[in-house]
Amino acid sequence: MGFSYWLEQTIKFDAHAGMLQVLADHIAFVQPVVYGIELLIAASLILGLFVPFWSGLAVVYLINLYLGLYNDPAEWPWTYVGLVCAHGMFAAAKAGRSLGADTAIARRVADDAGDMAFERALRRRG
């Protein structure tokens, strides 16, 4: 039960099966790309790096899965709804800014913005 099985299931039950059939025809290319994206999403959530971007991408990815597997009798669609809500909250709340690597990036940007504001204030006075 690998990627090709789930892609076939999605094609069987999906409204946009034509587009997915093109992906199934090129599975040798698509499979590593999908695996890489899933791996990057997981790594970003673990490290807290660029979490809003990768969570937004995960929402799009999960909506596609939801639409594709909604009519499959072996799937429970509310699983995907819950995951979309969780990743949507990660994206909206900018998760990763308290304990993740995004903290260092946010501090650096804030420091640069603060330095620029200080320089502008000095130029106005001078």
Domain map (residue ranges) of the chain: 3-95, 97-126
User: In the predicted model, is pLDDT for residue 126 greater than 60?
Assistant: no
pLDDT of residue 98: 78
Q: How far apart are CA 12 and CA 98, in angstroms?
A: 43
**What is the reported pTM?**
0.73
**CA distances, 34 to each of 4, 7, 47 (Å):** 12, 11, 20
User: In the predicted model, is pLDDT for residue 42 greater than 90?
Assistant: yes
Mean pLDDT of the region 14-42? 84
pLDDT of residue 86: 95
Helix axes 78-92, 51-69, angle to 10 degrees: 160
Mean pLDDT of the region 15-43? 85
User: In the predicted model, is pLDDT for residue 6 greater than 60?
Assistant: yes
User: In the predicted model, is pLDDT for residue 15 greater than 90?
Assistant: no
Using a pLDDT cut of 70, give the percent of the chain over it.
85
* Predicted confidence (pLDDT) per residue in 49-102, tens digit: 999 999 999 999 899 888 877 777 778 889 999 999 999 999 998 888 878 888
Q: How far apart are CA 121 and CA 58, in angstroms?
A: 42
Q: How far apart are CA 88 and CA 58, in angstroms?
A: 9
What's the token pair of residue 104? 């260092």
